């Protein structure tokens, strides 16, 4: 039952609303993606946990000695940073394929297009949950000072981060469907940003004015969840940066979605 009339804004909103009101579909598709990736493997998605764990331990010991940092401070910092970064980078990279990869569905059956965005974000959230085991283990072992006091703050921070990933996924998904070189551009930028963002190194290691990291939006996206896990409060600048990015990003993504929603089926 559908009627293709009404303003584009109204139709775009209806698309969003219907996708959120019928989570059965993207929840199932997201799980299916995970299952498909790890079918016929005994440990399933816990392979992710293992490979992240190995990476954290290996990098942890090497870089702690290179940077001359105490291991009990450095390892939790690295573990939290890496896991949050993989969530961000994974969602953005796969976000490029949001609509391209769902071509088969988009061209055959009318389901809200935002369903595909939710599927990508949900799938990466499941992966994040598997990787979070590492953070829990490392934090429990080294128990950073004040961690128990600030831990709860990580939840609203994560909600904010997920909301941010929502508009980014929608945006890169639409752009990539129209311009097929966007996924390569995005992958390259992310690779570069991994090294420019304080994940394996601490901002305090920068000589002189280390406030330059505050200009990096990805720093705030990582820091807002990482700090509370390590017993610190994210700075006011971080809350404001993530909040403002979310608001502006959603407005921008919504406007573009209103404009181009109906062209997506023709692009993919």
Partner 1 sequence: MRSPESDVSLSLEDVSVEFHIYNSVGRSLKKQLVRASTGGRISADSGHVVVQALKSLNLSLRHGDRLGLVGHNGAGKTTLLRVMAGVYEPTSGAVTAHGRVTPLFDVGLGIDPEATGYENIYLRGALLGMRRREIDAVKDEIADFTELGDYLDVPVRTYSSGMTLRLAFAVSTCMSPDILLMDEFLAVGDAHFIHRAEERLNRMVSRAGIMVLASHSRELIERLCNRAIWMEAGQIRAEGPTDDVLRSYAAAN
Select from 111, 163, 213, 253 the one that contacts partner 1 (CB under 8 A): 111
End-to-end alpha-carbon separation of the chain, Å? 24
Select from 21, 42, 109, 209 the one that contacts partner 1 (CB under 8 A): 109
Task: Identify the three-state secondary structure at position 228.
Answer: helix
Residue 135 and residue 53 in contact, taking contact as beta carbons nearer than 8 Å: no
Can you give the C-alpha Rg of the chain in angstroms? 20
Per CB under 8 A, 22 contacts partner 1 = yes
Per CB under 8 A, 106 contacts partner 1 = yes
Rounded to the nearest whole angstrom, what is the least distance from the CB of residue 170 to partner 1 in the complex? Answer: 18
From CA 16, how far away is CA 252, in angstroms rounded?
Answer: 15
Per CB under 8 A, 1 contacts partner 1 = yes
Question: Interface residues for partner 1 in 142-201 (CB under 8 A)?
Answer: 175, 178-182, 185
Q: How many residues does the chain have?
A: 268
Select from 10, 17, 20, 32 the one that contacts partner 1 (CB under 8 A): 32
Nearest to 37 by CA among 126, 97, 117, 111: 126
Rounded to the nearest whole angstrom, what is the least distance from the CB of residue 56 to partner 1 in the complex? Answer: 31
Per CB under 8 A, 2 contacts partner 1 = yes
Residue 88 and residue 172 in contact, taking contact as beta carbons nearer than 8 Å: no
Half-sphere exposure of 166 (CA within 13 A, CB side): 20
Nearer to partner 1, 105 or 242 (CB): 105
Select from 10, 110, 141, 237 the one that contacts partner 1 (CB under 8 A): 110
Task: Identify the three-state secondary structure at position 144.
Answer: coil
Rounded to the nearest whole angstrom, what is the least distance from the CB of residue 18 to partner 1 in the complex? Answer: 10
Per CB under 8 A, 7 contacts partner 1 = no
Binding residues for partner 1, total number by CB under 8 A:
34
Q: Is the dihedral of CA 226, 231, 232, 233 positive or negative?
A: positive
Rounded to the nearest whole angstrom, what is the least distance from the CB of residue 1 to partner 1 in the complex? Answer: 6
Per CB under 8 A, 42 contacts partner 1 = no
Task: Identify the three-state secondary structure at position 145.
Answer: coil
Rounded to the nearest whole angstrom, what is the least distance from the CB of residue 266 to partner 1 in the complex? Answer: 6
Residue 82 and residue 52 in contact, taking contact as beta carbons nearer than 8 Å: yes
Structure tokens given for 243: 């909040």
Rounded to the nearest whole angstrom, what is the least distance from the CB of residue 120 to partner 1 in the complex? Answer: 17
Footprint of partner 1 (CB under 8 A) = 1-5, 22, 24-25, 28-29, 32, 35-36, 39-40, 104-111, 175, 178-182, 185, 262-263, 265-266
């Amino acid at each position: 039952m559908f009627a293709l009339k009404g303003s584009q804004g109204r139709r775009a909103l209806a698309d969003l609303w219907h996708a959120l009101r019928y989570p059965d579909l993207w929840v199932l598709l997201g799980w299916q993606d995970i299952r498909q990736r790890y079918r016929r493997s005994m440990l399933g998605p816990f392979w992710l946990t293992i490979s992240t764990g190995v990476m954290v331990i290996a990098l942890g010991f090497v870089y702690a000695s290179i940077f001359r940092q105490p291991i009990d401070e450095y390892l939790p910092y690295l573990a939290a940073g890496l896991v949050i970064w993989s969530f961000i980078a994974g969602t953005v990279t796969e976000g490029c394929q949001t609509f391209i990869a769902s071509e088969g569905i988009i061209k055959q059956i009318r389901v809200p297009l935002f369903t595909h965005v939710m599927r990508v974000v949900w799938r990466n959230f499941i992966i994040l949950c598997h990787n979070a085991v590492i953070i829990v283990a490392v934090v429990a072992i080294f128990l950073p000072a004040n961690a128990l006091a600030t831990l709860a703050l990580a939840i609203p921070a994560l909600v904010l981060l997920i909301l941010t990933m929502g508009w980014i996924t929608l945006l890169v998904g639409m752009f990539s469907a129209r311009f097929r070189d966007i996924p390569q551009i995005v992958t390259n930028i992310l690779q570069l940003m991994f090294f420019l963002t304080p994940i394996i190194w601490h901002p305090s290691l920068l000589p002189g004015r280390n406030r330059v990291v505050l200009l990096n939006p990805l720093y705030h996206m990582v820091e807002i969840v990482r700090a509370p896990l390590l017993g610190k409060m994210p700075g006011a600048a971080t809350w404001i940066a993530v909040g403002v990015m979310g608001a502006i990003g959603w407005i921008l993504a919504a406007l573009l979605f209103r404009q181009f929603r109906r062209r997506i089926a023709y692009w993919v």
